[in-house]
Amino acid sequence: MRRHMLDFLRYALASSPGKVIGTVLGFIVGLVMVIAGPLAGLYLAACIVAGYLLGSYIDRRRRHTNDIFLEDFLPPDEG
């Protein structure tokens, strides 16, 4: 049973990652709204939107595929 579930998750992520990520984020925001209240949930949603917009802006300004933000902090691959 577990093997079938992992295969399904791999297929879902490969075929429509936006739907899977959106569903997971929606579940998390809904859970926060139930547990912490609507104001905390709206704040979390605003932070998610701001992070998405900032990431989108950074992605559009990137010129090379090897120009990744984490490479500024991590040593280069030696393999």
Tens digit of each residue's pLDDT (9 = 90 or more) over 9-64: 888 878 877 788 778 888 888 888 889 888 888 888 888 888 777 777 766 766 55
Tell me: pLDDT of 7 over 60: yes
pTM here is 0.52
| Total number of domains constituting the chain | 1
Tell me: pLDDT of 75 over 80: no
Residues 6+ apart with CB under 8 A from 32: 40, 41, 44
Residue 36 in any domain: the answer is: yes
Residue 77 in any domain: the answer is: no
| Distance (Å, whole) CA 26 – CA 6 | 21
Residue 74 tokens read as 């991590």
Q: What pLDDT is stored for residue 20 in this prediction?
A: 81
Which of 8, 6, 61, 52 is closest to 29 using CA atoms? 52
Q: What pLDDT is stored for residue 2 in this prediction?
A: 83
Residue 29 in any domain: the answer is: yes
Domain that holds residue 60: 17-65
| Distance (Å, whole) CA 35 – CA 32 | 5
Q: What pLDDT is stored for residue 58 in this prediction?
A: 67
